[in-house]
Amino acid sequence: MRDRMWASVQAAQDEICAGLAALEGADFEQTSWERPGGGGGRSRLIQDGHVIEKGGVNVSAVHGELGQDAAKAMSARGVDTSDRRFFATGLSLVIHPVNPFAPTVHANYRYFELGAGNAPAAWWFGGGADLTPSYLFEEDAVHFHRVLKELCDRHDPAFHARFKAWCDDYFFVKHRGEARGLGGIFYDDLHDRPAPQLAALAEDGLRSFLPGYLPILERRKGTPYTEAQRIWQRIRRGRYVEFNLVWDRGTHFGLRTDARVESVLMSLPLNAMWVTGHEPESGSPEADIVAILKAPRDWV
């Protein structure tokens, strides 16, 4: 399973980067890195592009022995961490477009083990994808969620409702009382059926990224915008930063495992703003997106 998932995320990285690079008209820059305690990865980045302001598509396969805090951060359900030998592999991506009408997107699919590789004491899968726009276009939200529902339905018709609710609950900026975005799907600590079935779910999720996101980016990348709309985009990206640094378990885990810091923090936008006391005008498109973030809806 270690070899299968490592091969799968590398192949997905190549496919996703090729699709995004074709739209951008420029290649990702790659950095290969090694983790001091074992393993490594390759990080790919586009920055200051015509379409993508900042985008990263990273893969890694790391192993060794975790500290107690990192072991606790690794699993939400509190698995036995008496044996802290671990293996983790996955793909993580975040795309922050230039155009404020084009949404930020995040996806992450991963596989974990604790204990010896030939007989792990615990193993599980995690994954999902979610959309974070600064402005609401219902057709974009419906398309993105429909692709994810079709993905889930191919594996278990019960998955979508479960994973959609899990996403809404997880990607919530608690100190702001609002969701990070329009959601998608999210699952973690999944080990309720044979590993090959869950690996197939993760691999299908990786393949579903481009069909779910590229049509939206193509639609919105050339939309005219004003400087005021760019400022609103930066304010919303400030909220993105707050969630990732304060609440995201993946960020906390990465920083506790001696992973490459630039790769762990790849999800942070190139530009963000914090404006004290800023409130959107009632009835404005900016107010519309905030209202949705405070009351997540079902899109499909």
Cβ proximity of 186 and 130 under 8 Å: yes
Higher pLDDT, 118 or 22: 22
Strand 29-34's sheet: what is its strand order?
Answer: 29-34, 39-47, 52-65, 85-97, 104-114, 122-132, 183-190
Angle at 30 between CA 24 and CA 34, to 5 degrees: 155
Beta strands in the chain (DSSP E): 29-34, 39-47, 52-65, 85-97, 104-114, 122-132, 172-173, 178-179, 183-190
Residue 76 has what pLDDT? 59
Binning pLDDT at 50, 70 and 90, where does residue 262 land? confident
Query: What average pLDDT does range 94-104 have in this prediction?
Result: 98
Residue 132, strand partner residues = 104
Q: Which of 91-100, 120-129, 199-208, 260-269 shows the lowest per-residue confidence on average (mean pLDDT)? A: 260-269
DSSP letters of 38-65?
SEEEEEEEEES-SSEEEEEEEEEEEEEE
State how far the alpha carbon of 110 is from the alpha carbons of 7, 26, 173, in Å.
Answer: 12, 27, 23
The mean pLDDT value for 130-138 works out to: 98
- pLDDT class of 77 with cuts at 50, 70, 90: low
At 133, is the secondary structure helix, strand, or coil? coil
Mean pLDDT of 167-189: 96
Q: Where are the domains of the chain?
A: 2-294
Going by C-alpha positions, the residue among 50, 1, 42, 41 that lies closest to residue 21 is 50
Question: 158, 177 in Cβ contact below 8 A?
Answer: no
Give the pLDDT confidence score for residue 249 in this predicted structure.
85
Topology given in CATH for the domain delimited by 2-294: oxygen-dependent coproporphyrinogen oxidase (3.40.1500)
Which pLDDT score is estimated for 67?
A: 72
Question: Please, what sign has the CA dihedral across residues 57, 63, 69, 72?
Answer: positive
Q: Is the pTM here over 0.75, yes or no?
A: yes
What digits encode the pLDDT tens for the residues 271-298? 999 999 888 999 999 999 999 999 989 9
Q: Check whether 175 has a pLDDT greater than 70.
A: yes
Residue 192 DSSP code: S
What integer pLDDT is reported at residue 119 of this predicted model? 76
Q: What is the mean pLDDT of residues 249-253?
A: 82
pLDDT interval class at 263 (50, 70, 90): confident
Handedness of CA 124, 8, 24, 268 (dihedral sign): positive
Condensed to tens digits (0 to 9), the pLDDT of residues 21-72 reads 999 999 999 999 998 889 999 999 999 999 999 999 999 999 998 776 666 6
Active site residues: 106
CB-based burial, 212-223: b 16+ in 10 Å, e otherwise: bbbebbeebbee
What was the pLDDT predicted at 79? 62
More confident residue, 244 or 266: 244
